[in-house]
């Protein structure tokens, strides 16, 4: 049972104001579920967009695991998304899609929409901090997404740069190394506790962002605070407010 | 002798409008000479800033050569700049600088000023193209510079990402690979013919930018057009105008 007390946001003191804010992207900055459902509805209205989006995303961790285990060599998320998609299409009655249609659909991940607070929040956060991505998405995907969704990154960093997927420490520590700062001057911002846990184990500060609708309105996500995070925010604007008071 | 005809800008047809414009940075986007002279004049007014800036920059290619030859392992430009600086200080009567002063002075490369047309030109070019850096400068340096000088990159790419300095083909082809486009959909924009020659050899389109004052007003640079470049522009706004007519 989740008590009222346990749901109270935690306010651990920020030890040092972070120089760099590194953002998880899928689910934290952009609404992958809603964006995929919307596009599928337009392209293939008879397909269950909710189930399709969830199945596509569910293939993500196992696909990365095939790279981590060495079964696949280094592979970009674009290519992993495509492997999963090709497996998925027959299950949803879309086995007939031709190559151009598959390429186009796979690029939906480049066209994901930002959560409503994201652009304003990033603009605020950018005034006091260096803001960058730290995503398993590849550089091209993240750049196209930023251009389309007007995400004002100072720098795009990706698993592709570090040749390792999160939660490999090389990714979290890679951000600190890139900006030549100690890990505690970097804060990971994410809507996923496991990502934050891994960052914290590397010495980063952590901020949890509530994205209760990440998996769609039919699958509301538990966004309870963890006492281990440095900050807990309802959205990016709330995070900016907390950091400016820190 | 340079004839009037030879100095006439060339207008080779753009084969395909480039998807990505990749910019050389030092000298092309930012005025390293003028910025270093200005800072030195403020910090150490008795030093010959012009000679100091030229000597620092002159150490750049030999320092990278030590990495290319294997004498040094992979080294960031920040660290190469520091090696050169430490060698240089005694020659200019600055051997007494302490560690903090050296660190601060070395970071002048993060604080370089943009050429007057750069921000406006990049904003225009960004409307139709993906604009990124392709510099031997490290990611942190380029990010800090962009933040300070308001350079609106869609993406920062660097020798550091490709673990190779220009003119290694891995850098030029790395841009095309990052954005999953053929090399001819990438245009290198630079104020240096040798950089453009190397990019062209990899199949990229090339645009030469005139920066006659790159080495200071006392050392005006020859900015004659080469018939081999796709475009030749006086500055970024001129480049934007040519590309929008292409």
In DSSP notation, B88-152 reads HGGGGT-TT--HHHHHHHHGGGGSPPBPTTHHHHHHHHHTTSEEEEEESS-HHHHHHHHHHHT--
Which band of pLDDT confidence, cut at 50, 70 and 90, is reported for residue A4?
A: very low
Interface test with B, best of A139, A142, A159, A174 (most B CBs within 10 A): A139
| pLDDT of A110 | 98
End-to-end CA distance of chain B: 32
pLDDT in tens, B90-125: 999 999 999 999 999 999 999 999 999 999 999 999
Q: Which ipTM value was assigned to this complex? A: 0.92
Indicate left, alpha or beta for B134 from its phi (over 0: left) and psi (-120 to 50: alpha).
Answer: beta
Q: Does B79 touch chain A (CB under 8 A)?
A: no
pLDDT > 70 fraction of chain A, expressed in percent and rounded: 93
pLDDT in tens, A21-45: 999 999 999 999 999 999 999 999 9
Lowest-confidence range among A155-159, B4-8, B86-90?
B4-8
Residue recorded with tokens 């964006």: A35
Q: Looking at beta carbons, which residues of chain B come within 8 Å of A156?
A: 155-156
Q: Does B161 touch chain A (CB under 8 A)?
A: yes
Q: Using the predicted structure, report yes or no on whether residue B4 has a pLDDT greater than 90.
A: no
Q: Using the predicted structure, report yes or no on whether residue A244 has a pLDDT greater than 50.
A: yes
Six token digits for residue B122: 């990049």
| pLDDT of A197 | 98
Domains A4-31+112-245 and A32-110 share a fold: no
Identity of the residue in B142, B146, B161 whose CB atom sits nearest the CB atom of A161: B161
Six token digits for residue B223: 């900015």
Q: Which CATH code of 3.30.465.10, 3.30.479.30, 1.10.40.30, 3.40.50.1000 fits the domain covering A4-31+112-245?
A: 3.40.50.1000
Q: Does B146 touch chain A (CB under 8 A)?
A: yes
Are A156 and B161 a contacting pair at CB < 8 A? no
Question: Do the Cβ atoms of B26 and B135 come closer than 8 Å?
Answer: yes
**Max Cα separation, chain A?**
56
Q: Does A99 touch chain B (CB under 8 A)?
A: no
Six token digits for residue B148: 């300070």
Question: Do the Cβ atoms of A223 and A54 come closer than 8 Å?
Answer: no
Q: Using the predicted structure, report yes or no on whether residue A11 has a pLDDT greater than 80.
A: no
Interface test with A, best of B122, B130, B139 (most A CBs within 10 A): B139
| Of A56, A61, A49, residue with least CA distance to A87 | A56
Which band of pLDDT confidence, cut at 50, 70 and 90, is reported for residue B15?
A: low
Are B143 and A78 a contacting pair at CB < 8 A? no
Q: What angle do CA A68, A74, A77 make, to 5 degrees?
A: 90
Q: Which residues, in sequence order, are CB contacts of A146 under 8 Å at separation 6+? A: A133, A152, A153, A156, B154, B155
| pLDDT of A159 | 94
Are B147 and A154 a contacting pair at CB < 8 A? yes
pLDDT in tens, A47-105: 999 999 999 999 999 999 999 999 999 999 999 999 999 999 999 999 999 999 999 99
Superfamily of domain A32-110: Putative phosphatase; domain 2 (1.10.150.240)
Identity of the residue in A140, A178, A179 whose CB atom sits nearest the CB atom of B179: A140
Which band of pLDDT confidence, cut at 50, 70 and 90, is reported for residue A223?
A: very high
Are A179 and B143 a contacting pair at CB < 8 A? yes
Q: Calculate mean pLDDT across residues B146-156.
A: 98
| pLDDT of B129 | 98
Which band of pLDDT confidence, cut at 50, 70 and 90, is reported for residue A246?
A: low
Are A139 and B155 a contacting pair at CB < 8 A? yes
Q: Does B147 touch chain A (CB under 8 A)?
A: yes
| Residue B60 host element (H or E) | helix B60-68
Nearest chain A Cα distance for residue B69, angstroms: 24
Which band of pLDDT confidence, cut at 50, 70 and 90, is reported for residue B194?
A: very high
Which band of pLDDT confidence, cut at 50, 70 and 90, is reported for residue A227?
A: very high
Q: Give the start-to-end residue ranges of the domains of chain A.
A: 4-31+112-245, 32-110
Are A146 and B154 a contacting pair at CB < 8 A? yes
Q: Does B139 touch chain A (CB under 8 A)?
A: yes
Q: Looking at beta carbons, which residues of chain A come within 8 Å of B78?
A: 180
Which band of pLDDT confidence, cut at 50, 70 and 90, is reported for residue B16?
A: confident
| pLDDT of A198 | 98
Which band of pLDDT confidence, cut at 50, 70 and 90, is reported for residue B150?
A: very high
| Residue B232 host element (H or E) | strand B231-233
Are B156 and A155 a contacting pair at CB < 8 A? yes
Q: Calculate mean pLDDT across residues B41-47.
A: 97
Q: Does B123 touch chain A (CB under 8 A)?
A: no
Which band of pLDDT confidence, cut at 50, 70 and 90, is reported for residue B12?
A: low
Sheet with strand A186-190: strands edge to edge:
A155-158, A130-135, A20-23, A186-190, A205-209, A231-233
Cross-strand pairs, B131 = B21
Q: Calculate mean pLDDT across residues B132-154.
A: 98
Question: Do the Cβ atoms of A66 and A130 come closer than 8 Å?
Answer: no
Q: Using the predicted structure, report yes or no on whether residue B1 has a pLDDT greater than 60.
A: no
**CATH architecture entry for B11-31+113-245:** 3-Layer(aba) Sandwich (3.40)
| pLDDT of A117 | 98
Give the 3-state secondary structure of chain A: CCCHHHHCCCCCCCCCCCCEEEECCECCCECHHHHHHHHHHHHCCCCCHHHHHHHHHHCHHHHHHHHHCCCCCCCCHHHHHHHHHHHHHHHHCCCCCCHHHHHHHHHHHHCCCECCCHHHHHHHHHCCCEEEEEECCCHHHHHHHHHHHCCCCCEEEEHHHHCCCCCCHHHHHHHHHHCCCCHHHEEEEECCHHHHHHHHHCCCEEEEECCCCCCCCCCCCCCCCCCCCCEEECCHHHHHHHHHHC
Q: Using the predicted structure, report yes or no on whether residue B153 has a pLDDT greater than 70.
A: yes
> Quick one: DSSP state of residue B13?
P
| Residue B34 host element (H or E) | helix B32-43
Q: Calculate mean pLDDT across residues A224-241.
A: 97
Q: Does B47 touch chain A (CB under 8 A)?
A: no
| pLDDT of A245 | 86
Q: How far is CA B181 from CA B122, B158, B244, in A?
A: 21, 18, 20
Q: What angle do CA B34, B39, B43 make, to 5 degrees?
A: 150
Identity of the residue in B138, B143, B154 whose CB atom sits nearest the CB atom of A143: B154
Q: Using the predicted structure, report yes or no on whether residue B144 has a pLDDT greater than 80.
A: yes
Tally helices (H) and strands (E) across chain B. 12, 6
| pLDDT of A8 | 43
Distance CA(A210)–CA(A208), nearest Å, equals 7
Residue recorded with tokens 């251009």: A147
Q: Using the predicted structure, report yes or no on whether residue A136 has a pLDDT greater than 70.
A: yes
Question: Do the Cβ atoms of A123 and A158 come closer than 8 Å?
Answer: no
Q: Does B143 touch chain A (CB under 8 A)?
A: yes
Nearest chain A Cα distance for residue B8, angstroms: 36
Distance CA(A52)–CA(B77), nearest Å, equals 46
Neighbours of B37 (CB within 10 A): 20
> What sign does the CA torsion over B154, B160, B166, B169 have?
negative
Q: Which residues, in sequence order, are CB contacts of A40 under 8 Å at separation 6+? A: A47, A49, A52, A53
The per-residue pLDDT of chain B, averaged, comes to 94
| Of A84, A92, A63, A85, residue with least CA distance to A75 | A63
Distance CA(A200)–CA(A172), nearest Å, equals 9
Distance CA(B178)–CA(B200), nearest Å, equals 18
Q: What's the CA dihedral at A161, A164, A169, A172 to 10 degrees?
A: 30
The per-residue pLDDT of chain A, averaged, comes to 94
């Amino acid at each position: 049972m989740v008590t009222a007390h346990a749901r109270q946001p935690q306010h651990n003191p920020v030890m040092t104001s972070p120089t760099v804010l590194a953002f998880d992207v899928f689910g934290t900055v952009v609404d992958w579920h809603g964006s995929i459902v919307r596009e599928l509805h337009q392209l293939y209205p008879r397909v269950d967009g909710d189930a399709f989006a969830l199945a596509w995303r569910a293939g993500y961790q196992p696909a990365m695991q095939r790279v981590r285990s060495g079964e696949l060599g280094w592979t970009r998320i674009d290519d992993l998304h495509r492997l999963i998609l090709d497996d998925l299409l027959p299950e949803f009655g879309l086995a007939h899609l031709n190559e151009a249609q598959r390429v186009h659909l796979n690029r939906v991940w480049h066209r994901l929409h930002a959560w409503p607070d994201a652009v304003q929040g990033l603009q605020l956060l950018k005034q006091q901090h260096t803001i960058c991505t730290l995503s398993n998405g590849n550089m091209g995907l993240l750049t196209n997404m930023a251009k389309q969704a007007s995400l004002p990154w100072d720098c795009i960093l990706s698993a592709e740069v570090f040749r390792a997927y999160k939660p490999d420490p090389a990714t979290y520590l890679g951000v600190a190394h890139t900006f030549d700062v100690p890990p505690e001057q970097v804060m990971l911002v994410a809507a996923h506790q496991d990502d934050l846990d891994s960052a914290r184990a590397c010495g980063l500060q952590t901020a949890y962002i509530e994205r209760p609708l990440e998996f769609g309105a039919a699958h509301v996500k538990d966004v309870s605070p963890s006492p281990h995070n440095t900050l807990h925010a309802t959205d990016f604007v709330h995070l900016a407010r907390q950091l400016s008071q820190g």
